[in-house]
């Protein structure tokens, strides 16, 4: 069964610090997709990025960057020069497909950025 582990329950940083959110996954499939979502206090889950199992290229989008390493089954997320608006719960998720389109979420990491 697929599994996603986000070992960091809560992280607190001061504005402008860099912060990395860890995600480790387990799957037996060779084809799968990994996602990161942001959930601000308002409750809506906001999609940030998707990565498929065949593409290990790292990606940068503004202050956000992602490091996908199949060798360690990790898909880590770094925020550079954090801002107060980055405060939210961040979820890593894994999708293997199949009949149920089942996407499994990690437990989430609550990031607090203090001014």
Partner 1 sequence: DTEVTQTPKHLVMGMTNKKSLKCEQHMGHRAMYWYKQKAKKPPELMFVYSYEKLSINESVPSRFSPECPNSSLLNLHLHALQPEDSALYLCASSQDWERPQHFGDGTRLSIL
d(CA 64, CA 56): 16
Does residue number 30 form part of the binding site for partner 1 (CB under 8 A)?
Answer: no
- DSSP per-residue letters across 83-114: -GGG-EEEEEEEE--TTTT-EEE---EEEEEE
Nearest approach, Cβ of residue 70 and partner 1 (Å)? 17
Nearest approach, Cβ of residue 106 and partner 1 (Å)? 6
Which of 16-24, 47-55, 66-74, 76-84 is the region at the interface with partner 1 (rule: CB under 8 A)?
47-55
> How many residues bind partner 1, per CB under 8 A?
26
d(CA 6, CA 26): 12
**71: which DSSP letter?**
G
Does residue number 47 form part of the binding site for partner 1 (CB under 8 A)?
Answer: yes
Which of 19-27, 69-77, 79-87, 93-101 is the region at the interface with partner 1 (rule: CB under 8 A)?
93-101
d(CA 44, CA 82): 21
Residues that bind partner 1 (CB under 8 A): 33, 35, 37, 42-47, 50, 52, 91, 95-103, 105-108, 110
């Amino acid at each position: 069964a697929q599994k996603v582990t986000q070992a960091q329950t809560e992280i607190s940083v001061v504005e402008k610090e860099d912060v990395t959110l860890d995600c480790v996954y387990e799957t037996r499939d060779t084809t799968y997709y990994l996602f990161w979502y942001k959930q601000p206090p308002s409750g809506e889950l906001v999609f940030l990025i998707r990565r498929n199992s065949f593409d290990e290229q790292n990606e940068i989008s503004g202050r956000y960057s992602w490091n996908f390493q199949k060798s360690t089954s990790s898909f880590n997320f770094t925020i550079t020069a954090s801002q107060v608006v980055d405060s939210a719960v961040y979820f890593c998720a894994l999708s293997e497909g199949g009949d149920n389109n089942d996407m499994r979420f990690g437990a989430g990491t609550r990031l607090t950025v203090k001014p």
